[in-house]
Amino acid sequence: MGKTKDSGVEERPKWDNKVQYLLTCIGFAVGLGNVWRFPYLCQIYGGGAFLIPYLIALVFAGLPLLYLELAIGQRLRMGSIGVWTSISPLLGGVGIASMLVSFLVGIFYNTILAWVLWYFFHSFQNPLPWSQCPLNDNLTGYNVECVKSTPSNYFWYRETLNVTPDIETSGSLHWWLVICLASAWFVVYVCFIKGIASIGKAVYVTATFPYLVLTVFLIRGLTLPGATDGLLYLFTPDWEILKNPQVWLDAFTQIFFSLSLAFGGLIAFSSYNPERNNCERDAILVGVINSATSIYASISIFSILGFKATTAFNSCVKENILALTNHFEFSDQNITADKYDHWVEYLNRTSPGELASVDLRHCDLQTFLDQSASGTGLAFIVFTEAVVEMPGSQIWAILFFVMLFTLGLSSMFGTIEGILRPIKDLKLMPEWMPNELRTAVICSIAFLTALIFTMGSGNYWVEVFNSYAGSVPLLIIAFFEIIGVIYGRGMKTFSEDIYFMTGKRPNIFWKACWMVISPVMLLVVLVAYVGIQAQTHPSYHAWNPAYELFPKTEMKPYPDWVFAIIVLLCVLPLISIPLVALYQLVRSRIKRSSALVVLNPYCNDGFEVEPQEQKNQRA
């Protein structure tokens, strides 16, 4: 990692090579959402039909905003606060808002990595601990809560989270989660200890290893029975679903958050580039690879989930065959899985009364495929159940959780950079403090703050932060970014900036997106999102063994005090935008007033002081 002087003021680090920079940006953009959010959206929104609004959102909103952030960071060679302050002092609060959002997102995001570490450590056991129910306290049978639900549900909610029945019951700190959380933050610190000098080396592993694992999973998944059913289910289009406005809203928010826009990390990373670098090509490359990764991960994941559904369907049929064989006293192997439907139809014609008395489960492959899950539900429950059914389950579990950890770790690099660079620009820490110590202080503060997520109610708070800390604030920040560059710095000046860096001016497509299409889309998505959220009181899924419909999760409304915290999470990061603008306006007015006083030709104060001093001397 070399260093370069920036305008003679400060030695600024730079990337060793272009590959380091691209891998870091790709690693920041490609995260856990590509693996467990995008496949879920494809599944519930008509499979292949969801790709239409998704690609429209990528072309007209995602790529233009990504290009804008990379270009302005590279041209001005500053972090987020420096960039927006140099464009206009009134926009200084935009950089502070990005820093606050990065901190709020970082503390819950790294908690997910702590959960991944917990599962990784347990993946070396044989059999896997989520493959069977533990014995009860009396050792006379299996744990009742586990039997009522499933072993994977029990290991997640009870063994890992030891979750409380609602968010108001905090519970105590769980030491095993505290240790995993401390380990996750220690890994982040070690990778970031030398800034981009160390993460530039780490991304060679963290940004590439997930693709290796996804490829291995894809090859293995395609050889499993039922993989074709999973892929057909994922990509069979349902065109009617495109009439639902929620589909378009989710497509735009997925693109926006998947590319990690408005966090400030991309601006900081691009500022370490040489001034003459083709940032347009970089933006297109990062954006296309990010979306292609989402589709690629979906194929890998759903080939295995198709296998899981087929296995569950076959188990269901076998149970029914056993029930029919015992009831009608058929000989073994008389009813086979291939002839099951034929036999049920035959018995329904010949002995409908007796058949009705047999307790048969409803076995439908489509029903098992419909059991969709997103986020932690997909990673820690559904996929772990699928891994158990695969030969050599320990190896697949280890690979899966290492992949999740490296995906999340590379995203944390951009999040931490979005915190550290603004702190340095604001001079919130002493100049004599080395970067290693600054990073240690920030990671320690983040770790202590994140301890709330290691309590019994921690999972509920992770959902609160995940749903609200990075939603409305990022949309508003992005809107101010695009308005600040195009109408603050000016389209003409920005075009000249790009010409200076790339050797060509932006074409009509980019200009149209920056000036009209992207801002309008951002406003529409923001208004629609706020409108949908305002229609209902926010609620959450609680794991409550006393719930009458258990093992289904109980839907509970958030208490008023939690709702107040949700509002704060949405509003608090944005307060800096009007406050800084107001401060700069007042400051400029005071400066203007003082300048008028100094330059006032009718002011005689200077002539009055001299005689007064002379009078005093004479006295």
Binding residue numbers: 27, 29-30, 34, 258, 290, 407, 411
Helices (H), 123-244: 144-148, 151-154, 175-192, 196-206, 209-222, 227-235
Q: What is the 3-state secondary structure (H, E, C) of 210-237?
A: HHHHHHHHHHHHHCCCCHHHHHHHHHCC
b/e map 367-393, b = 16+ CB within 10 Å? ebbeeebbbbbbbbbbbbbbbbbbeeb
* Annotation: binding site for Na(+): 27, 29-30, 34, 258, 290, 407, 411
Q: Which of 76, 107, 106, 82 shows the shortest CA–CA distance to 94?
A: 82
Backbone angles phi, psi at 359, to 5 degrees: -80, 90
Residue type present at position 332: D
Could you give the CA distance from residue 293 to residue 35 in angstroms, rounded to a whole number?
8
Helices (H) and strands (E) in the chain — how many of each?
Answer: 31, 4
Residues 6 or more apart in contact with residue 494 via CB below 8 angstroms: 71, 72, 485, 486, 506, 514
Residues 6 or more apart in contact with residue 208 via CB below 8 angstroms: 23
Q: Which of 283, 289, 255 shows the shortest CA–CA distance to 506?
A: 283
Residue type present at position 24: T
CB atoms within 10 A of CB 500: 12
Could you give the CA distance from residue 292 to residue 111 in angstroms, rounded to a whole number?
27
Could you give the CA distance from residue 486 to residue 91 in angstroms, rounded to a whole number?
13
Helices (H), 329-392: 340-350, 352-357, 365-369, 376-377, 383-388
Residues 6 or more apart in contact with residue 108 via CB below 8 angstroms: 450, 453, 461, 462, 465, 466, 469
Maximum distance among all alpha carbons in the chain? Answer: 132
Could you give the CA distance from residue 111 to residue 89 in angstroms, rounded to a whole number?
35
Two tokens, residue 337? 């899985």
Backbone angles phi, psi at 556, to 5 degrees: -125, 140
Could you give the CA distance from residue 122 to residue 126 in angstroms, rounded to a whole number?
9
Two tokens, residue 16? 């060793």
**DSSP result, 530-581:** HHHHHHS--EEEE--TTSTTTTSPEEEEPPHHHHHHHHHHHHGGGTHHHHHH
Contact (Cβ atoms closer than 8 angstroms) between residue 544 and residue 166:
yes
CB atoms within 10 A of CB 473: 24
Distance from the Cα of residue 386 to its chain's centroid: 23
Contact (Cβ atoms closer than 8 angstroms) between residue 201 and residue 410:
no
Could you give the CA distance from residue 495 to residue 493 in angstroms, rounded to a whole number?
5
Two tokens, residue 444? 């320690």
In the block, tokens 């963290």 appear at: 206
Beta pairing, strands 539-542 & 10-13: unpaired
